[in-house]
Amino acid sequence: MAAQKPAHAPTPVPDRPHPDATRRSQRSRQAIYDAALALVAEVGYPKTTIEGIAARAGVGKQTIYRWWASKADVLLEAFLDLGEQAVRAAGEAAYAIPDTGDVAADLKVVLRATVDELRDPKFEAPYRALAAEGVVNEQLGREFVTRLLEPSLQLHADRLRAAQDAGQVRPEIDPRIGLELFVSPLAQRWLQHTGTISHAYTDTLVDYALHGLAPR
């Protein structure tokens, strides 16, 4: 879901930049990210343009084209940056799933944090706009998945693999499918408004997924 690996923002730094120039670039970049996220939240993906982002950020169109190939690129980087900011705000070095040895407890912590992020207004409107476009625009959807969603899903798969090594998950389980039992219900409730999301709800998902619906 929302959780992301640290972003690797492009670093189009010229040879030995003057410190002021680097700071100016950094300020412009942040203004462009903010403008892109605000605009897509307000008017949706199809009506968001490079021109509109430039005007709102107070930079020239060419500044954007120098750094990114398309509006999809700008938006994806803006989301990666938003994820990095959230990680820094939480005082963490990088987004990760804890491994305390108790897979249920660790997954609950992560899913609770995802619930909080999905409910954060700063995050919700632009993320919905991008997700909606991904439903009908397969190319954008796949890029969105490859760069934003799949890195986070792989962290969940890694945590399930560690649990397999620790004997807490059955060895024959495919971790990439297993994680969907607790990640996808949260995603569907949020995307399709099929139900409320809460910490109690995601705790329940983890328990059901680990222990199954059938009697033991």
Write out the residues near its own copies by the rule CB under 8 A.
Answer: 44, 128-129, 131-136, 138, 141-142, 144-145, 149-150, 153, 160, 167-170, 173-174, 176-178, 180-181, 183-185, 187-189, 191-195, 201, 204-205, 208-216
Return the number of the residue (18 or 193) whose C-beta is nearest its own copies: 193
Quick one: the chain helix, strand, coil %, rounded to 5?
A: 70, 0, 30
Report in angstroms how near the CB of residue 62 gets to its own copies at its nearest. 31
As a whole number of angstroms, the distance between CA 34 and CA 28 comes to 10
Report in angstroms how near the CB of residue 97 gets to its own copies at its nearest. 15
- Return the SS3 of 194: coil
Residue among 75, 156, 89 at smallest CA distance from 117: 89
Return the number of the residue (92 or 174) whose C-beta is nearest its own copies: 174
HSE-CB for 100 with a 13 A CA cutoff: 9
Return the number of the residue (94 or 135) whose C-beta is nearest its own copies: 135
Report in angstroms how near the CB of residue 58 gets to its own copies at its nearest. 27
Report in angstroms how near the CB of residue 80 gets to its own copies at its nearest. 17
Cβ atoms of residues 151 and 5 within 8 Å: yes
Return the number of the residue (54 or 197) whose C-beta is nearest its own copies: 197
Return the number of the residue (21 or 135) whose C-beta is nearest its own copies: 135
Report in angstroms how near the CB of residue 108 gets to its own copies at its nearest. 14
Residue among 92, 110, 94 at smallest CA distance from 102: 110
As a whole number of angstroms, the distance between CA 90 and CA 101 comes to 22
Q: How far is CA 155 from the centre of its chain?
A: 12
Report in angstroms how near the CB of residue 82 gets to its own copies at its nearest. 18
DSSP code string of 82-146: HHHHHHHHTT-SS-----SS-HHHHHHHHHHHHHHHHH-HHHHHHHHHHHHHHHH-HHHHHHHII
Return the number of the residue (54 or 169) whose C-beta is nearest its own copies: 169
* Rounded CA Rg of the chain: 19
